[in-house]
Amino acid sequence: QLMSKYSHNCSPRYIKLQNGLSALLISDLNNMDGAPSALSSEGEDDDESEDESDEDDSGAEIEDDKEDYDDEDCDDEEEEEEGENDDGEELNDPDSELEELAEKEETRKRGCTEKQSAAALCVAVGSFSDPEDLPGLAHFLEHMVFMGSLKYPDENGFDAFLKKHGGSDNASTDCERTVFQFDVQRKYFKEALDRWAQFFIHPLMIRDAIDREVEAVDSEYQLARPSDSNRKEMLFGSLARPGHPMKKFFWGNAETLKHEPKMNNIDTYTRLREFWQRYYSAHYMTLVVQSKGNISCENVIGFSKPNFGHLTQPFDTPEFHKLYRVVPIRKIHSLSITWALPPQEQHYRVKPLHYISWLVGHEGKGSVLSFLRKKFWALALYGGNGETGFEQNSTYSVFSISVTLTDEGYKHFYEVAHVVFQYLKMLQKRGPDKRYVIWVASNNFRIQKQIVYCLFSLANLVLLSAVNEGQCHLKEKWFGTQYSVEDVDKYWSDLWASDFELNEDLHLPEENKYIATDFALKAPDCPETEYPVKILSTQQGCLWYRKDDKFKIPKGNAGFAFVFFPACFWHPLIPLFPCSVVLFDTFVNILSHNLAEPAYEADVAQLEYKLVAGEHGLIIRVKGFNHKLPLLFQLIIDHLSDFSFTPAVFEMITEQLKKTYFNVLIKPETLAKDVRLLILEHGRWSMIDKYETLMKGLSIELLSAFVKAFKSQLFVEGLVQGNFTSRESKDFLNYVVQKLQFVPLAHPCPVQFRVVDLPNTHLLCKVKALNKGDANSEVTVYYQVTALIKLKECEDSHLGEEVDRNWNEVVTQQYLFDRLAREIEALKSLTKSDLVAWFQVHRKSERKVLSVHVVGFGKHEGDSEVTAVSEPQNSSCDEIPQLTFLPPSSLMANITCIKDIKAYTSSLTVLPYHKILK
């Protein structure tokens, strides 16, 4: 029986089958019954966690201009996305507030837990086991097992089945393990599980599929090459001792899996099947559910599980203990300090590295980052171990501290490293503090002291900066990373080897006033309603409110839109409107910088905030335990009211904003989005416009004038939901009005998003990518059609989902809070023939289509072979990039090609703004 009945929210059961396969069975009756479980309520906003993206330290977001990819293109991404490093904040770059909400809604519906079931299988073999003559074979096998099975031979049958039934799947190859996983609607889980199990019982892996799938692996490699995170990993691995598997090329590509094997008469197909027969055995597997499949155990006779535990201290070499200067893809300065430690997996229960990384990554008073920010040397800091195979395996564990540097900080990187060493020495002398550990065994204290001691052994320093270009004459083999290597400066190496003085400004965190202690559910003070109601309305603003009566948790959400149109700000010294938009971005990022330290304690207490520089004004959102949430909100409003900045902060933020804009432009996917929206959105200024404006220079006087104008005349609209009374909710808006003392807007300014009316034709805008070393291209096809209601019948699994849906109504000023119920009702009246008829209408000659192509660099695109194989060479950060428009290919006939976006769109009419209010 796959799922067993139980009396609690979650009931796990561990079993081991006769063939050696281990399985963990987990059942959640609450979710099976369609009601939200306590677990999902407590983790209410997991889907809304702030993903890293760019390299700033602020909690601000620039609306519409950047996207939140789970790709690694953030500063030192491995420290952020793979580690426990929620100790650092930075400038995020997701979509606009409205697009973000829509995408979250779609993601939630796809991953809705009430009706979903899931399974995962871990095979205890990974890239460490790659044969020397076939680099990337383990990764290639991960791809090939999905190419059909004896029972279900269709190569794409499993993916098609999952998509048809609201599911998804994924797989990943690590150093010592390969993981496969999928989810699907519960009623189709049994069939999906059988289809999935066949990949491990009898995969076809036919010869004809090899060449096709090699191209897929090679495509992943090409997509990975422009990532600074991946490039740093490969460079780091190359520093290991000869013979250690970290020196292997884990990704694999067309050269290692196709062309070189052919030249050396290696039969990749035969070797692939041998690898599968040897390692894809039941007793090497761990499953989260029981399968009825008969995974054979016979093929393991004579073979033993791969073990690399004897390869200790792989980085105890002279090559590791050096300073490496590296040329990054993006415009960024960063310093990474990395130590190689003994393997830490056996300490997974006490997690000593978590304790150290939490203290090192703290951002409050007395922290490393606080000190560095005051010196204007750093914007962000991340520290820890991500527990991936690269950072933790059977041969070593790493501990890394990565600091995002300012221009000034780059000049003082040795001093920055010294501050880090001073903090670690303070921890060593003081020893672990029980105030910061809920439960710590004496054994954990011993382990931590040993680790801190190890951290004073020689470290590896990596300094990333575009300034290094021209000075780095070495090149990593597989990703082509340009770097140089040198001894650590003797003054600093001698100092760190001595009993150097501690820094009196560095100390352990102080008491946190934001930690909630009152978790009582409030009694309602007004009639409860199913949807938000307006409880306060004045000329200065209005407030919508709903008391939570569904999830019954001591949490709350509050969102406020400060309506002010940046593009309408006029000043005699401002020649172009883009300047006002850039001023707004600068203002919000300085505000976030000012909040970074005082608001960090709130973040530690699981209170979150977000600032968005939107097209229609400033958006402030807070969420978390309701007891202390008003304190966080008041802190933000206080800093907004008393906004100030020094010339040094102004210089630091504007310099960082230049890098942020530039790093958006060099990514094909974000450049494609920017071009598309520039064509579609009326009155939009492109990222190039904004970058050019910033490069020409802003003045402190202009920013001061802008902020004064912003704070003087506003309309504030808010939504408060959760465990708050109506009286407490009114206090949010009243506090804003009281502190800011603004006057109402002189004229009503409805929130509108204006889109141009595309002609009834196929439009093409084809441009060259801006990163000459990036071979990747991006194609986007946009169909302009009438509205199609989407299926949204899943129940909300947590409070944040309901709040997001209601917030969307407030921020767009539509207020149709029962829109979801109405859409479901409308959907039930539709038939399949209605949908087919609607689709056919928009496929006829009058269809409106816009294709945007961003073309990468390579010999197949007409670029010289030297350019095609050269490493990423971006334009200088001081240069203004310009779009290069390309002609359509001969395959695209009967289309209209856009060669001048502003000239073309100026002739188009603007569609009236349409709100669906009933």
Residues known to be catalytic: 142
Q: Contact at 8 Å (CB) between 261 and 253?
A: no
Shortest CA distance to 835 belongs to which of 794, 783, 788, 792? 788
**CA separation for the pair 692, 449 (Å, rounded):** 51
DSSP 430: H
Contacts of 882 (CB under 8 A, 6+ apart): 688
DSSP string of 880-898, one letter each residue: -----B-PPPTT--S-EEP
887: left (phi over 0), alpha (psi -120 to 50) or beta: beta
**CA separation for the pair 492, 417 (Å, rounded):** 9
DSSP string of 160-210, one letter each residue: HHHHHTT-EEEEEE-SS-EEEEEEEEGGGHHHHHHHHHHHHHSB---HHHH
List the Cα angle 663/669/671 in 5-degree steps: 60
Contacts of 505 (CB under 8 A, 6+ apart): 366, 371
Shortest CA distance to 791 belongs to which of 273, 108, 198, 329? 108
Beta bridge partners of 783: 849
Shortest CA distance to 665 belongs to which of 748, 767, 745? 767
Three-class DSSP category at 851? strand
Shortest CA distance to 170 belongs to which of 185, 160, 159, 161? 159
Q: Cα-atom radius of gyration of the chain, to the nearest Å?
A: 28
Q: Give φ, ψ of 854 to 5 degrees.
A: -110, 115
Burial level of 214, CB count in 10 A (0-12/13-18/19+)? buried
Q: What is the number of other CB atoms lying within 10 angstroms of the CB of residue 435?
A: 8
Beta bridge partners of 401: 337, 383
What is the strand order of the sheet 778-783 is part of? Answer: 778-783, 849-855, 762-768, 896-897
Burial level of 344, CB count in 10 A (0-12/13-18/19+)? buried
Q: At what angle do helices 207-224 and 268-279 cross, to 10 degrees?
A: 80
**CA separation for the pair 806, 791 (Å, rounded):** 17
**Buried/exposed 57-82: b ≥16 CB within 10 Å, e otherwise:** bbbbbbbbbbbbbebbbbbbbbbbbb
**CA separation for the pair 222, 75 (Å, rounded):** 20
Burial level of 38, CB count in 10 A (0-12/13-18/19+)? middle
Q: Contact at 8 Å (CB) between 593 and 57?
A: yes
Shortest CA distance to 873 belongs to which of 768, 773, 770, 769? 773
**CA separation for the pair 819, 817 (Å, rounded):** 5
CA atoms within 13 A on the CB side of 414: 12
Task: Output the CA–CA distances (angstroms, integers) from residue 380 to 13, 370, 643, 687, in the order listed.
Answer: 42, 10, 21, 24
DSSP string of 443-498, one letter each residue: HHHHHHHHHHHHTTS--EEEEEEGGGTTT--EE-TTT--EEEEEPPPHHHHHHHHS
